[in-house]
Amino acid sequence: MIATIKLTMFGFNVLDGRQKTNLTAYNKQMKIDDFPTLAQFFGWMYFFGGYLVGPSCEYMDYIRFVQLDDKARRSMPSAIKPTLVILSKSLLFITVLVMFSPTYNFSALLKSEWRDLPLWQKLLSIQLVALVTRCKYYAVWLLSEGACVLCGFGFNGYEDDGKPRFDRLTNINVLKCELSQSVKELGDNWNMAANRWLKHYVYLRVTPPNKKAGAASSLVTYAVSALWHGFYPGYYVMFFSLAMYQNIGKRLRRCLRPLMMAVDGKSPVPGRKTVYDTLGVIVTMFIINTVSTSFVGLYLQPVLQIWKDIYFIHYILALLTIAVLQVVYGPLITLQKKRASESGYISKTPTAKPKAKDDDVTDIGGVEPPPNDPILVKQRKSS
């Protein structure tokens, strides 16, 4: 899977280095002008930091790093402390796996004892199984990230306050994943390297130049993501379900979130925004945990049996939400405009759509190099 990401990125980057037109800022950073030697190519393909489980890295990031001179390397801050922090997190999740995975696993959801539980206990156990399952990914991704940080490749320049960043090859943001307020937010912080690949090499590539990406681009991206994982039907059920939930969440956000904020959209309404955020986390994690059983179960028969035992409640909620939105979406948008008009507040962009950050369902994940990235600075000076 990692080789697939790297080979497709490499092919597009070589093409970008040849045609040099209609390139985004990211494409310009990653385009390959000089074809690598076999040693350079295989050194990148088999780079130990992310060879087995990721995170994948761009060829140009890798080659800039290995070609740094001694002065640039000595100027990098010590990576020992951040490496130990990352390692301790990984060990924590390994401990959770060892202690709880024998009890909370997918097989437990197929036992007759589970089927005899009350509905609320079934739903709770699904949440716990999903949480413990995610710990497996947290553990291995943090281990590989720690290796990248320790060798210096994870260094990603400095914050504005001078604090060093070590997130060049970060693949997971655990806290944001577990407290996501939307499906999109979880996608932004889960398997970030793969999401960056999907964004720059699928989503934006299938969108015609100078056109806004739409539903077709999103559908292609989800299809590629499912195909990349494999041919098990559970993958496709999960990804296309998430596409539906993400679209529902986007519409909910558009009609509800402005009402949780002051008219200027900058400060939250006391109490109201807290309730909105809390419900967002609860509903999002419930949906993710329930739908992800298809990702873990792989085959339709056991997954459908589990969902049948909980009365397909996650899909019923989705259909009810869609039906309610058909009725209240327009009036809520009208209420927003009336509220703004009565307060005398005039938006600078009254007809503007939400920013891509909230509207773009696959503008997902990935840590972009900052302007003061020492590797890019070195390249600019030499060019």
Q: Which residues are tagged catalytic?
A: 229
Q: Is the dihedral of CA 233, 235, 238, 243 positive or negative?
A: negative
In the numeric block, the tokens 């290995």 are attached to 66
Instruction: Convert the chain into a string of H (helix), E (strand) and C (coil).
Output: CHHHHHHHHHHHHHHHHHHCCCCCHHHHHHCCCCCCCHHHHHHHHCCHHHCCCCCCCCHHHHHHHHCCCHHHHHCCCCCHHHHHHHHHHHHHHHHHHHHHCCCCCHHHHHCHHHHCCCHHHHHHHHHHHHHHHHHHHHHHHHHHHHHHHHCCCCCCCECCCCCECCCCCCCECHHHHHCCCCHHHHHHCECHHHHHHHHHHHHCCCCCCCCCCCHHHHHHHHHHHHHHHCCCHHHHHHHHHHHHHHHHHHHHHHHHHHHHECCCCCCECCCHHHHHHHHHHHHHHHHHHHHCHHHHHCCHHHHHHHHHHCCCHHHHHHHHHHHHHHHHHHHHHHHHHHHHHHHCCCCCCCCCCCCHHHHCCCCCCCCCCCCCCHHHHHHHHHC
On whether the CB atoms of residues 94 and 139 are closer than 8 A, the answer is yes
Residues sharing a CB contact under 8 Å with residue 62, sequence separation 6 or more, in sequence order: 43, 44, 47, 153
On whether the CB atoms of residues 188 and 364 are closer than 8 A, the answer is yes
Integer Cα distance of 176 and 58 in angstroms: 24
Integer Cα distance of 375 and 371 in angstroms: 10
